[in-house]
């Protein structure tokens, strides 16, 4: 009979409710039921396989019981990709009178972290795992450690389009960054994702978050310039100068280090700030242009002390910093005397000793 119900195309919402109740009854009485291992996945399929995973709200009203907790070890232990997706759909769904089963979801964290090693991720399963992470939050994964949680994020490769509540993801990613190993292990795409979220949902930032200078220090000392570029954008949108103890001098020093290594970072920061301004109807802080200009000029002066880096700074300034200097490209700076022709030093045996590559271009 149950297998015939699977073939039913237009299943009424009451069938989802009944099938979920069957799961509770089977878990409660499985010691006296010989076929419980086959009945459970069939019941889940009848109740949830036909539902659209993109929709969090369902018409059925589910009653979560303590017996449903027994589904975790059973389904994750012997179930396949679709059976696990059925279970996650049941526990992440919302109805008019019931909320997602947060308590039950929290028992899945260790299974979710290593799930990609056990079953292939269908698009349906991936979407429901993303929703589960969103509902559980970073703190719910404390038991698996930050590296395990970041590994889960890496395998999901979450985008803004995958999210039901993007403000929750701002908090999840910031929580991850605040952890001791977060800045080191979080990949560049996660930093860029946080930039996109900061542009659109910064007004929903949790009030207990504050600027963390340790992240800035780590990224600078580790020379993680692409991550530092994203972090500076996040800082400007979430914690402008004088907020959370951050000063213009702090930003200036960090941006000077960034611009020396990535002259094009200025253009990207400006684009992010303009999008942030348009989204929230706020003006870009005047201090942004002032600090950027000062930091860039200081970076240029430092670069001039190392002749073979002048060409790189000057050529990239057209692409990265013309906006800071009034939207006019600065003149190409030239050394007053032409460079000497390349003559490699020789060793005592007469072999060339290359101190500087002959391909270095001087201006």
Residue-number span of the structural domain to which 230 is assigned: 182-332
C-alpha span between 342 and 360 (Å, rounded): 10
| pLDDT value at residue 239 | 82
Tokens of 116: 């990609």
Tell me, yes or no, whether 155 lies in a domain.
no
Rounded to whole angstroms, what are the CA distances from 154 to 88, 189, 245, 259?
20, 9, 32, 29
User: Residue 248 domain-assigned?
Assistant: yes
> Residue 182 in contact with residue 150, Cβ under 8 Å?
yes
Task: Return the pLDDT at 341.
Answer: 44
CA distance 310 to 330: 13
Residue 73: how many other CB atoms lie within 10 Å: 11
334-356 burial string, b = 16+ CB within 10 Å, else e? eeeeeeeeeeeeeeeeeeeeeee
Confidence (pTM) = 0.79
Q: How many domains does the chain have?
A: 1
Of 167, 89, 72, 166, give the one whose Cα is nearest residue 132. 89
Give pLDDT, residue 320. 47
Query: DSSP secondary-structure letter at 57?
Result: B
Both tokens assigned to 353: 């000793």
Determine the pLDDT at residue 211: 83
Residue 101 lies in a domain: no
pLDDT (0 to 100) of residue 344: 47
Phi, psi at 55, each rounded to 5° = -105, 125
pLDDT at 175: 92
Residue 345, SS3 per DSSP: strand
Does residue 218 belong to any structural domain of this protein? Answer: yes
pLDDT of residue 323: 43
Determine the Cα–Cα distance for residues 88 and 177; give it in Å rounded to an integer: 27
With respect to residue 204, please indicate whether it lies within any of the assigned structural domains: yes
Distance separating the N- and C-terminal Cα atoms of the chain: 83
pLDDT at 325: 43
Do residues 258 and 225 lie in contact, with contact meaning Cβ atoms separated by under 8 Å? yes
Specify if 210 maps to a domain.
yes
With tokens 């279970």, the residue in question is: 87
Structural domain includes residue 310: yes
Domain annotation covers residue 51: no
Q: Within a 13 Å sphere around the CA of 77, how many CA atoms are in the beta-carbon half? A: 7
The ranges of the chain with pLDDT < 70 are 1-4, 6-8, 202-208, 241-245, 305-363
Among candidate residues 236, 233, 225, the one with its CA nearest the CA of residue 261: 225
Report the alpha-carbon distance of residue 327 to residue 335 in Å, rounded: 24
């Amino acid at each position: 009979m149950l297998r015939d119900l699977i073939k039913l195309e237009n299943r009424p919402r009451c069938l989802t409710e009944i099938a979920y109740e069957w799961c509770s009854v089977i878990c409660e009485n499985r010691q006296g039921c010989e076929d419980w291992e086959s009945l459970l996945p069939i019941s889940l399929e009848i109740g949830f396989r036909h539902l659209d995973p993109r929709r969090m709200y369902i018409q059925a009203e589910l009653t979560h019981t303590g017996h449903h907790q027994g589904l975790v070890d059973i389904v994750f232990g012997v179930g396949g990709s679709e059976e696990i997706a059925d279970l996650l759909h049941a526990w992440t769904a919302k109805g008019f009178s019931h909320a997602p089963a947060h308590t039950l979801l929290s028992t899945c964290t260790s299974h979710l972290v290593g799930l990609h090693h056990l079953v292939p991720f269908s698009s349906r399963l991936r979407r429901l795992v993303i929703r589960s992470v969103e509902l559980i939050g970073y703190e719910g994964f404390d038991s698996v450690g930050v590296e395990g949680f970041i590994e889960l994020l890496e395998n999901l490769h979450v985008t803004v389009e995958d999210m039901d509540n993007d403000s929750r993801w701002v908090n999840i990613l910031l929580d991850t960054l605040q952890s001791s190993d977060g800045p080191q292990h979080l990949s560049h795409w996660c930093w860029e994702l946080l930039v996109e979220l900061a542009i659109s949902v910064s007004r929903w930032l949790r009030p207990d978050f504050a600027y963390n200078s340790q992240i800035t220090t780590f990224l600078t000392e580790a020379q993680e310039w692409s991550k530092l570029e994203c972090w500076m954008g996040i800082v400007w949108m979430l914690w402008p100068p004088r907020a959370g103890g951050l000063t213009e001098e702090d930003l200036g020093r960090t941006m000077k280090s960034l611009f020396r290594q990535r002259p094009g970072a200025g253009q990207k920061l400006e684009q992010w700030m303009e999008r942030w301004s348009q989204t929230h109807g706020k003006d870009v802080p005047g201090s942004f242009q002032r600090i950027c200009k000062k930091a860039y000029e200081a970076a240029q002066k430092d670069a001039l002390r190392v002749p073979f880096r002048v060409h790189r700074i000057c050529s990239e300034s057209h692409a990265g910093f013309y906006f800071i200097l009034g939207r006019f490209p600065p003149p190409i700076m030239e050394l007053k005397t032409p460079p000497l022709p390349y003559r490699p030093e020789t060793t005592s045996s007469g072999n060339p000793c290359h101190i500087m590559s002959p391909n270095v271009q001087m201006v």
